[in-house]
Amino acid sequence: MSRWLQQKVVPQYPDVTIFDVLETSYGVQQNASTCQSWTQSNGLSHTVLRDNSSGIEQTFGMSLSDVLVVDRNLKIVFKGQVVDSLSENQLLNALGQLK
């Protein structure tokens, strides 16, 4: 997902702040330097947040691979997985409405 966000979403929506969440997997804690190395090795320039406690996932009722888009008023305008061209278009439409 991170590379797709970097390649397709970030360039098309330069005025939208993109946050990508790097979650702890299987109880393994990711420290800041490991996350920074992963971000750099994947060539990501958008913001990547560490979610050590799965708090973001729990707060928004998300599953591991969900994408969450909120507007300036923190209203959820898209929540779901981007797994095919239909869901990709739905996400891009939601982002387009934020312009």
pLDDT along the chain (99 residues), means of 10: 77 78 62 80 76 74 76 84 87 85
For residue 47, what is the domain's CATH number? Answer: 3.40.30.10
* Overall number of domains in the chain: 1
Cα–Cα–Cα angle for 54, 60, 62, nearest 5°?
A: 65
Give the pLDDT score at 25. 61
Q: Which residue segment(s) compose the domain that 18 sits in?
A: 2-96
- The position carrying tokens 């939208």 is 16
Structure confidence by residue, pLDDT tens digits, 55-73? 777 787 777 677 788 888 8
Give the pLDDT score at 32. 77
Amino acid identity at 87: S
